[in-house]
Every structure is written in C-alpha cells, then in structure tokens.
Structure 1
Amino acid sequence: MSILSVPVAVRYMLLSALGFALMAACVKAVSGYGIPVLEIVAARAIVSLVLSYLDVKRKRISVWGTHRWLLTARGVVGALALVCVYYSVTTLTLADATVLQYTYPAFTAVLALIFLKEQIKRSTILCITLSFIGVLVMVRPWSGELEAAMPALSLMAALAGAFGSAAAYVLVRKLSQLEDSSVIIFYFPLVALPVSLLLLGNDFVMPGWEALLLLVLVGVFTQVGQVGLTKAMAAEAAGKVSAYAYVQVIFSAVLGMIFFSEIPTLWTLLGGCLIIAGALINALWKR
C-alpha cells in the first residue's frame, strides 16, 4: 500500500503525532544542556507567538478578541499545564510521559460535566476507569517501591499536565462558540510567554548554538503538530481520525529508544494499553 492510498486526514493526523513526538524529544534533549523547563516554555511561546500572530493578521481580524478574560484564562491554564508536561518529559521516559498525558480525556469528561453540563456516557465512565487502572499499573503502589517505579513528583506533574490540558480544552470548547480559532491559538503564547518569564526569574541560562537550535525546533515541531491536527480535523470527522493521534505513543517510545536508550518496561506497556484503550473507547464508541 503506497502512502498516496492513505486518506489525507489520516496522513495529517500521523504528521501531527510525529510532530508532537519530535517536540517532546527536543524538550528532553535541550534539558540535557541545563536549560530550565520554564525557559523551554518561553522559547516555544516566542516561536508560536510569531507564527500565530501572522496567521491572525492573514485573516485580517483583531488579535485581541472580544472575550479577553476568558481568553486570558485559557492562556494561563495552558501555560501552567505546559510547564507540568515539559517537566514530566524531562524527568520520565518519553513513553511514560506521553502515555500519562493521554489520561486527559478522563479529566475532560469530569470538567465538562461540571462546567459545561455535558452528560457523562457509559463509554466515558469506562474511559475514566481504564485510565485510573492504567496509572495504577504503571506506578505499582502495591510493590512498595513507588519511587523506584516512577518519581512521585514527576508522576504528579504528568497528571497535573493532563488535568491542565483538559481544563484548557474545556475552555477552548467554550471559546470556539465565541471567538475565531486563530485568536484562541494566539492567546496561548501571548499569555504563556510573560507567565513563564515571570516564574523563571533569575534562572535564565544562555543557550549555546546546539541548545538554541533545539529550542527553535521545539517551537517548529509544535507548529507542525498543531497544523497537522487542524487539517486532519478539517478533512474528516474527528471521531474517524482521532484514533491515529495515539500513534504518538509509539513514535515517542521509538525516539526514546533511539536517542535516549529508554526501554519501556512491561508495566508501562500494560498501563499504556489500558489508558489508550480507554481514550479510544471514549472517542470512538457509537451509542
């Protein structure tokens, strides 16, 4: 089967998954040069700010939107979530960090119930249950060696990042009824840049040329992932292509093995299968 026979939406979704996996690999690599997580977030925000600003101006609409408090809240939540996600990427294996990030559909369902009054279906309950069991399998609290299985702070950061991503997603769903998508995207780096710089304080580290290239690539691969995701959703119904997003876990595991000599444990594979299965059931279940 040639690549041309693969549906366009699927190709874009695979490109998105690869882009986000490469972004995570660059984040992990640049942290090895002593660059703080907050500085990585700021670098990504700078690249995204320029690219998203150009996109808004291309549409000839106001960059400020009309619901600024809600847009700002989305930016703050997204920025804090990104800090947590990047910290987990730099302190866990790429496979572990990526798998734990995919617990966000369970968090999204709960937050949507509370704030958007969306009904929780049986498939969503199953998603939440499998995600919870999957996390337990990965960290193995019954083994008595929790810290050896996975550092507690890294685990909490990964789950906090997934929760923050879910909160940002709920805000985006609300804002999508009120604002242009390009304005929503623009506000994320607009808020993330000052927030990350404020939290960074005096911990800035001047990057060398190699680290600087990796920081730029973090922003570039992020944009590749976002563009691929947007075009995939525009080309096909979300439910039909969302399953391919989880290929990112495979990409991340392969990149981890190639560049960081990370071999996923059996517990990561088992827990990851449960979490991904729950997310897929939630996305694809037909009533």
Structure 2
Amino acid sequence: MLGSTFAFGLMAVAIRLATAHVPTQEVAFFRNAFGLLALLPMLLRPGRAPLRTRQLPQYLLRSAIGLCSMLCAFWALGHLSLGQAVSLSYSTPLFVTIAAVLWLGEVVRVRRWAAVVIGFVGVLIIVRPGTAGFSAGSLVAVAAAVLGSLVAIQIKQLTRVDSADTVVFYTYVFWVPLSLVPALFVWVWPSGIAWLWLAATGVMGTVGQLLWTRALRLGEVSALTPISFTQLPLVTLFGWWLFDETLDRWTVIGALIILSSNAYIAHREAVLARRAASRAATAGSAPGE
C-alpha cells in the first residue's frame, strides 16, 4: 500500500508537469496509452490464462464514467495546488458510502452516517463556498470524487465475476480509444521533456493500481487506508519544491477531518465484514454439530 501511495503521488506530480505542455484531455489519453503498454507484459506473459469476460457492456459504462472522473481530476491537478486537489480527492469514500446505499442497497448505520457528515464538513472547510477563498475549480475536484465513487461501486460489482487483473485490463482497453476522442479536438504534439512526464503518468498509474489491488488482497482495508494518506504530505512536498506552493490552514484542517472520517468508515466496514464472515462460518458449521 505504501508503494501504491508513492506511485499515485508521483503520477499526480507528473500530471501537473505534463499539463504545462499539453491539454488535460491529451494527458489523460497518454496516461491510458502508456499505462496499457506498461500493463501488457505483466498480463499477457506466456503461460498465463487468457483474460476473458462476459461483462463488456459493463466495462464500457465503467470506463466512460471513469474517464469523466479522470478528466476532472487531471484538470484539478493542473489548475489547483497539488495539496488541495489531492485533499479533495480523499472525499471519494464519503460518496462511495452514499452510492452503496442508493445503488447496491447496502445498510449504513448511524455511526458511519455521522462519519460521512463529518467528512463533508471537511470538504466544505477546504472549498469554503461563499468566501473570498472559494475557487470554482475546487468543484471540479469534488466532481471527480463523485464520479470516482460510482466507479468504485462498479468495480465492486465487476470483481464479483472477474479477477482484479481482468478488471484493470479491460478498463484500459476501453480507456485508450475513449480518451483519444476528446484529445483529438485539442491535440498538440508533445516535444522534449513532455514525453517523459506523459510516460511517467501511465507507468506510475499502472504500478499504483497493481500494487493497490494486491495490497487489498493481502491485508484489511481498515489497516491499509491510513497508509494511503501519506500521499498528501508527499505531493505537498513536491508542490512546495517544484511549484512554490504551500497549503493554507483551511486545507490542512479540512484534509485532517476528511482523512479521520475515511479511517473510521474503513474501520467500521472491516468490523462489519468480520462479523458477517463469522456469522456465515457459524451458520455453515451448524448442520454438522
């Protein structure tokens, strides 16, 4: 998880550097194209079983929503401070909780709802609507989080049938042509150092995704989620070093509130999952008693 967090943090920095040379839509295309190239040797190596699926329409929908989320997130990374953009991206789990109730019919009790409300207070503290510190661009980052929550729900549904590697592979297969369409309308041929930043977005994004899925398979979400919060100080450090950015106190306060809320939600979900597994094991052993 720590490796995944650093990879995603470096991807965010590369996106910021790349957007200084080419439009956001083009950065998204190259992130997907280079990401697929980095993924192919691992997924299509000799002796590996073919990646088959019967859920192609669902992958198309997941990829389309994911691309919209990606474009919003990339725009935020290119136009807001890195720290603020990443802080607002941490609101995704809050929206995931709401989407799980509306889409999957999951039951969320009072304590998790309270954590969600507290998390949204953190979002409001960062965005500060109606004040001089408000930026309409921050709403783009929030939109990325909302769309990202829908993607998370779709991934949960897809992985009930397909493996994590299959989900990642077919997502990229659709992402590349889908992201090429908006990129063509603003196309600027990259030159020089821009190619390095564009390649880094794809490679770091793929490495981050692969490490993330494996981390979740090996450990509990409640234990791993706090590790992912180290991305914020990482990108803040790079923002200060490369772009002379600093985090204002409201962003710091809001980020801490959001991160605390996320940590509690992850903890409660892990506790409930363990209880459900324990009940299922007990029920399964009952006939033999």
TM-score, normalized by the shorter chain, greater than 0.5: yes
Partners of 2:122 and 2:253 within 8 A in 1: yes
RMSD over aligned Cα atoms: 1.7
Cα drift, residue 166 of structure 1? 0.7
Q: 1:130 to 1:108 in 2, by over 3 A?
A: same
Which residue identity lines up with residue 52 of structure 1 in the other structure? L
Which residue identity lines up with residue 46 of structure 1 in the other structure? A
Instruction: Say which is worse superposed, 84-93 or 187-196, in terms of deviation.
Output: 187-196
**SS of the residue 2:247 aligns to:** coil
Q: 2:112 aligns with which of 118, 121, 124?
A: 124
**SS of the residue 2:105 aligns to:** coil
State whether structure 2 residue 235 is matched by structure 1 residue 247.
Answer: no
State whether structure 2 residue 2 is matched by structure 1 residue 14.
Answer: yes
Match of 2:28 in 1: 41
CA distance in 1, matches of 2:194, 2:96: 35
Equivalence map 1:199-278=2 (5 Å): 199-278=182-261
Match of 1:9 in 2: none
User: Between Structure 1 and Structure 2, how many residues are aligned?
Assistant: 269
Can you list the C-alpha shifts for 1:196-228, whole angstroms capped at 9, x where unaligned? Answer: 211123311111120001100111111221232
Cα drift, residue 236 of structure 1? 1.7
Which residue identity lines up with residue 132 of structure 1 in the other structure? F
CA distance in 2, matches of 1:172, 1:105: 14
CA distance in 1, matches of 2:3, 2:134: 30
Match of 1:151 in 2: 135
- Report the TM-score, using the length of structure 1 for normalisation: 0.88
Task: Note the residue ranges of structure 2 that are not aligned, 5 or more in a row.
Answer: 273-289
Can you list the C-alpha shifts for 1:36-74, whole angstroms capped at 9, x where unaligned? Answer: 111111101112222333333237444451111111111
Q: 1:142 to 1:157 in 2, by over 3 A?
A: closer
Match of 1:53 in 2: 40
Which residue identity lines up with residue 208 of structure 1 in the other structure? S
- Report the TM-score, using the length of structure 2 for normalisation: 0.88
Q: 1:84 aligns with which of 72, 83, 86?
A: 72
CA distance in 1, matches of 2:218, 2:167: 21
Partners of 1:79 and 1:191 within 8 A in 2: no
Q: 1:23 aligns with which of 2, 8, 11?
A: 11
Which residue identity lines up with residue 115 of structure 1 in the other structure? W
Which residue identity lines up with residue 73 of structure 2 in the other structure? V
Match of 1:69 in 2: 57
Match of 1:10 in 2: none
Partners of 2:31 and 2:198 within 8 A in 1: yes
Cα drift, residue 142 of structure 1? 4.6
CA distance in 2, matches of 1:74, 1:197: 17
Cα drift, residue 103 of structure 1? 0.6
Task: Note the residue ranges of structure 1 that are not aligned, 5 or more in a row.
Answer: 1-12
CA distance in 2, matches of 1:237, 1:132: 25
